[in-house]
Structure 1
Amino acid sequence: MIRIGLTGGIGAGKSTVARELETLGAVIVDGDKIAREVVEPGTPGLAALVEAFGERVLAADGSLNRPALAAIAFADDESRKTLNAITHPLVGARSQELITAAGPDAIIVQDIPLLVENHAGPMFHLVLVVWADAEERVQRLVSQRGMSEQDARARIAAQATDEQRRAAADVWLDNSGAPDSILTEVRRLWDHRIVPYGHNISERRAAVGAPAPTDPAAQRCYGRRARCCSRSPAC
Structure 2
Amino acid sequence: MLTKDKNNPSHSPVVKIGVTGGIGAGKSVVCRVFAALGIPVYDADTQAKRLLTEDPALVRQLKAHFGEASYAADGTLNRVYLANEVFKDEEKLVLLNSLVHPRVAVDFNKWLQRHEEAPYVIKEAALIFEAGSYKNLNAVVAVSAPEELRVRRTIIRDEHRNRQQVEEIIRKQLSEEERLSRADYKITNGDKSLVVPQVLRLHKQFSQPSFAAR
State the Cα distance separating 1:104 from its structure 2 match. Answer: 4.6
Cα 1:68/1:155, change in 2 over 3 Å: farther
TM, length-normalised to structure 2 = 0.83
Distance 1:67 1:41 in 2: 18
Cα 1:3/1:162, change in 2 over 3 Å: same
Equivalent position amino acid for 1:112 in 2: A
Cα 1:73/1:52, change in 2 over 3 Å: same
Distance 1:173 1:74 in 2: 29
Query: 1:150-188: CA deviations, max 9, x gaps?
Result: 33223222211112111211111111124x711232123
State the Cα distance separating 1:78 from its structure 2 match. Answer: 0.2
Q: How does 1:25-174 map to 2 (within 5 A)?
A: 25-40=38-53, 43-59=56-72, 61-146=74-159, 147-174=161-188
Q: Give structure 1 stretches of 5+ with no counterpart.
A: 207-235
Task: Name which one, 1 or 2, has greater alpha-carbon Rg.
Answer: 1
Query: 1:195-222: CA deviations, max 9, x gaps?
Result: 22xx1145x4x7xxxxxxxxxxxxxxxx
Moved over 6 A (4+): none
Q: Kindly report the root-mean-square deviation, in angstroms, between the aligned alpha carbons of the 2 structures.
A: 2.2
Match of 1:229 in 2: none
Cα 1:156/1:57, change in 2 over 3 Å: farther
- Report which stretch shifted further, 14-23 or 48-57: 48-57
Distance 2:158 2:38 in 1: 28
* Equivalences, count: 200
Q: What is the SS of the residue equivalent to 1:130? A: strand
Equivalent position amino acid for 1:134 in 2: E
State the Cα distance separating 1:189 from its structure 2 match. Answer: 2.2
Q: Taking every aligned residue pair, what percent have the same amino acid on both sides?
A: 29
**Residue 175 (1) aligns with residue 185 (2):** no
The one of 160, 171, 194 aligned to 2:206? 194
Q: Give structure 2 stretches of 5+ with no counterpart.
A: 1-13
Q: What is the SS of the residue equivalent to 1:173? A: strand
Equivalent position amino acid for 2:94 in 1: K
Q: Is the 8 A contact 2:26 2:189 kept in 1?
A: yes
Equivalent position amino acid for 1:175 in 2: N
State the Cα distance separating 1:108 from its structure 2 match. Answer: 1.0
